[in-house]
Structure formats: structure tokens, C-alpha cells
Structure 1
Amino acid sequence: MPITPPADPQAVEAALRRLAPNWTTDIVRAIARYGPTLQVREVADYVPALSESYASKRLSAMRQDGLVVRDDAFDKRAPYRLSEQALTLGPVYRSLAQWSSEHISPTMLGRPGRIEDALQRLQPLETTRIVQLLAEGGSMHFSRIAAESGVYRQLITPRLARLQADGLVVSTGSRHHGPYALTEAGQALGPVYAALQQWHDRHTANGPAHAPAAKVRSLTAPAEGVQGARTAAALRRSPVPPSLFSHAPQPQPQVPYAVTAASHPARGR
């Protein structure tokens, strides 16, 4: 299944930088499920792997990223709630969970785990640019990827190794020279990239307007369509959207858990 390359890889990676840091998904889920507001100690209670001090640091960073808000910024005991930006993450989380369930996810991961795992696979710097290049140009050798991607040559080798470990790229030749091509999982990233870019553009002040359909480089149509727009509208009307994490998984794992574990070591505090 060919993908729809993102019109702006920088926008996609900007969104991933905000959503992929450790524990972000878990904290959004905790506030969505047990809120609408939670104090720092309550977040730490609902995310047992977090200490209260680290939960405070993560919430502060998420506030800077626009994902949570605090009505009284000067009261350290004031609770946090999800921002409008976080309340519209439903289409992004659904696209990540669906992609992971159909192409990546080990069966032992629940829906939040699949979202987190997908974010960790997609967030490394320049991943989006390389995926887009291979989507548009097909199978390529190392030298052509280095020449056309705009990525420093010193970064290409470790980035391609990571992409292979994450199940997005496969090499059909020698270890370092390819040719490299997208796996089925890499080819299916179109709806994920579309959802990430739409979310980023919507909440970026003075950001780029959505490109008209005729101008977007496309190999297939995005998967969300009208239903995704309806879902986003429903999320805007809901103070705490229960649908952020509520859809039941339908796992069809294709990448072994051993690969996942090797690529993504356990998160520390």
C-alpha cells in the first residue's frame, strides 16, 4: 500500500517532538480518564511509574508545549487540565494506534502502549524526510539517499539502521549500501503523517495553511476523511474526550516483539 507523503516533513517532525517525549501519552490519558483536572500528585498516582517530582517536570514541559494548562500559574498546587490542542489529539492517536495494530504492535501492548511505541519509532530526527524520499523514489542505494535527502552523511548510516530496527525500512543488499526500500509498515504511514500535519498546522500560530488537494504530492488519499473531521469536531465540544483511548485494538502483529524490545529499551524516570 503506497503512502501519502507529508507536504511538509518539518511540520510532521515538529508535532512528533511535542508528542513523543516519554510519558506524554500516559499523562494525557490520565487527565482524559480521571480529570478534567488533576494535581501533580494525582497524576503521579495514576501513572505509577512516575515519581511526583518527575511528573511535575513533565507537566511543566507539556505546559510549555501547549498540551496542558494551569488556571493559576503561580499556585504550585493548582491542578492541570488538557488544553484545546490536547483535546483535539483524537484523530492523531487513532491513526497511530491503527497503524501500530495493523503493522507493528506486539499483542501484549494495550492501546496507549501501541500509541507510545508508534511515536518512538517515528520521532527520530530526519526519519520523516527519509521515509518521504523512499516513498517518492522507490528503492535507493545509500549514496542516492545521502545525496537527495539533505541529511548529513554521518547521520545516514545510524538513521537507516534505526529505521530497519523499527521495521520501517529494509535493505536488500549489503549492510551499508542497500538498496533500501520501505517495508509494508513504512508504506502505510500516509494517514499517520496526514493526521500529524493537520494537527500541527491547526494549532501553530501563523503556520502554513493546509495545501489544496491538487498541490499535495499524493500516491493515495488520506484515510481519515469526513469521519476524521466529524471526530475532531466532537472532541472540541467535549471537555474530556473519552474516545482518546477507548477504541478496542485489533492487533495483526508483523514485527516481532524481540525487535521492539531491542529498539525501544524500557523507559526510566
Structure 2
Amino acid sequence: MSTRMKRPAFPIGAVDAQRVEDALSLLWPKWTAWSAMTLAQENHPMRIRDVAAQLPFVSEQLIGKRLATMRADGLVTRDDDRRGAPYRLSTLGKSLAPVFHTLSDWSHAYLPLGQMAGAERVEDALRRLHHRHSTAVIQLLDAGGPMRYAHIAEEAGLSNSLSGQQLSRLQAAGLITRTGPRHGDPYTLTDAGQALGAVYATVEHWSEPVTMFKTSPSPVRVAAATRTHTNVPLTGDGARTAAALRRSAAAPNDLFSHAPQPQLRVSAAVTARSAPGRGR
């Protein structure tokens, strides 16, 4: 019987870290997922005030700024530039469904967050993953096993201070941990960090048309990412993440099928943090 370890279904090291982080930089700003999911749920063009009415814990002014940024990034569109003209999801925005599904499934499986709205869970996952150079650090630890601080900094090409910031953020996000209690003990991936292969693969696959959205945006088919690894045995975490991708691909326009409760039931913590910003 062979003792050779099986490769994961979606190898973390197989993705382009820069491309993944460029895509995450479009999605992580707070209220981006909320706004996209609101437009998808309502399924018709919406004015800023109509989106804000569905998100009463966010100011109308902030929603307007977020939608303007999303339009510049190609996630939403509007028919003209008249003041008050409604927004709708672009083709690129609609193709976010597999990304949101996979982020939510990963969060449900590995982060002990309890019950929360689907968009809140997606935004929490994006907050943990979006920092520049963090994907490269995750890839290093996945490929090289436990590594000390100085080795990570050297291999990632980061200054000691920047490397320290990244490691602190990844620890706080629950993606890495030290192998012992001492300050110099090596870092290693947590179960949540080890399971990021499918998340990265889905984000990378979605990002393919991002640079072309102004001329010819097209939906992303996550099934193609699944086909890329069809010859790799699926076990454990790989089987769960592969199944998540298949479920997402089966219903690309349904952003809410994975939510265990109505979308806009948000936690008291989110409402408390956001309510003071309701300026109007």
C-alpha cells in the first residue's frame, strides 16, 4: 500500500497569488457584498435610496459611494449618468455567485461564527483574506510546512516589519498559528488556512474577465476550475470544497440558496457599529 500523500483537489500553490489578491481588492470593501446581494435578491434596477432602504444600518451616502466604486470596477452598471439613475448588477457582478457561495461554505466549515446573515459572513471572509501578500504567505506555509518568522520574510521577499504585520493579521484571522508558545516557534497553517485551495481557485477563475469588463464581460464558469483537477483524488477537505464549487456552479444567479435565514437579519454587533453613520 502506497504511503504517498494525495494532493488536495485545489492546490493552494497552483493559483496566481497576485491575481487572487487583485480580485479580492475589488470585493473586500465593506458593504460591497451586501450591495451586490441586495441587487441580486431584488433582481431589478435599484436607485441608491432603494438599496439603502434594504440596508437600514448603512447611510444612503455610503451606499452611493460604494455603488459608484463598484461601477468603476465593473461590478454594477447603470443605463445613463443622470442623477438618481438606477443601478443593476453587471454580467461580471452576477458571476460573483460561485465566489460568494464558496466563501460562505468555507466560513461555515472552518470559522466558529454562529448564526449570521449570508452577506455578513461573506464580508467577514473577505476581510480575513484580502490583505496584500497574505496569499503568498499562505502558499509558502502550505508548500514548506512550519516555517520561522525570518524564513517566511526571506522567502516572501518582505521586510521584517511588513512580514510581522502579515503574520499578525493572518493569526488574528485564524489562518495560521504558531507550533508552540514561544515567540520564535515556527508558524503553520490552521485547518481554515489549509482549506483555502477551493476559495483561491474560485476567486482566480472569477477574475479572468475582470480586466476586460469594459469591452466584453462574460460570466465565469466555476465548473471549468473543477475540470482542471478532475484527475486528483478528493478526500477530506478537498471533497467538501469541491462539492461547494459544484453546488455554486449549479445555480450561478442564486446568491442566497446557502443562507440559513432571511438575508437581512444581521447581528446586533453590525447594527451597533453601523447605525451612527445613518446621516439622513
User: Normalization by structure 1: what TM-score?
Assistant: 0.80
CA distance in 2, matches of 1:83, 1:181: 39
CA distance in 2, matches of 1:89, 1:146: 33
Contact 2:110 2:191 in 1 (8 A): yes
Equivalent position of 1:195 in the other structure: 202
Equivalent position of 2:123 in the other structure: 116
CA distance in 2, matches of 1:107, 1:227: 19
Structure 1 70/105 Cα, relative in aligned 2: closer, same or farther at 3 Å? farther
Q: What are the superposed Cα offsets for residues 44-85 of structure 1, whole Å, 9 maximum, x if unpaired? A: 11111221211111110010111100111x201110000101
Contact 2:102 2:245 in 1 (8 A): no
> Which residues in structure 2 correspond to 1:96-115 (within 5 Å)?
96-115=103-122
> Which residues in structure 2 correspond to 1:84-233 (within 5 Å)?
84-173=91-180, 176-205=183-212, 213=228, 228=245, 232=249
Structure 1 174/227 Cα, relative in aligned 2: closer, same or farther at 3 Å? closer
> Which residues in structure 2 correspond to 1:22-101 (within 5 Å)?
22-72=30-80, 74-101=81-108
CA distance in 1, matches of 2:247, 2:178: 40
Unaligned runs of 5+ in 2: 1-6, 214-223, 262-268
SS in 2 for 1:197: helix
CA distance in 1, matches of 2:19, 2:173: 22
Unaligned runs of 5+ in 1: 236-240, 251-260
SS in 2 for 1:178: coil
Contact 1:143 1:177 in 2 (8 A): no
Equivalent position of 2:27 in the other structure: 19
Structure 1 26/54 Cα, relative in aligned 2: closer, same or farther at 3 Å? same
Q: What are the superposed Cα offsets for residues 105-158 of structure 1, whole Å, 9 maximum, x if unpaired? A: 411323222111111110112111100110011100111101101222211112
CA distance in 2, matches of 1:121, 1:186: 11
Alignment-mate amino acid for residue 149 of structure 1: A
CA distance in 2, matches of 1:16, 1:222: 24
SS in 2 for 1:107: coil
CA distance in 2, matches of 1:148, 1:120: 24
Equivalent position of 1:244 in the other structure: 255
Q: Relative to structure 2, which stretch is displaced further, 180-189 or 159-168?
A: 159-168
Post-superposition offset of 1:227: 8.3
Structure 1 99/225 Cα, relative in aligned 2: closer, same or farther at 3 Å? closer
Equivalent position of 1:257 in the other structure: none
Alignment-mate amino acid for residue 153 of structure 1: N
Equivalent position of 1:255 in the other structure: none
Contact 1:25 1:116 in 2 (8 A): yes
Structure 1 105/67 Cα, relative in aligned 2: closer, same or farther at 3 Å? farther
Alignment-mate amino acid for residue 44 of structure 2: P
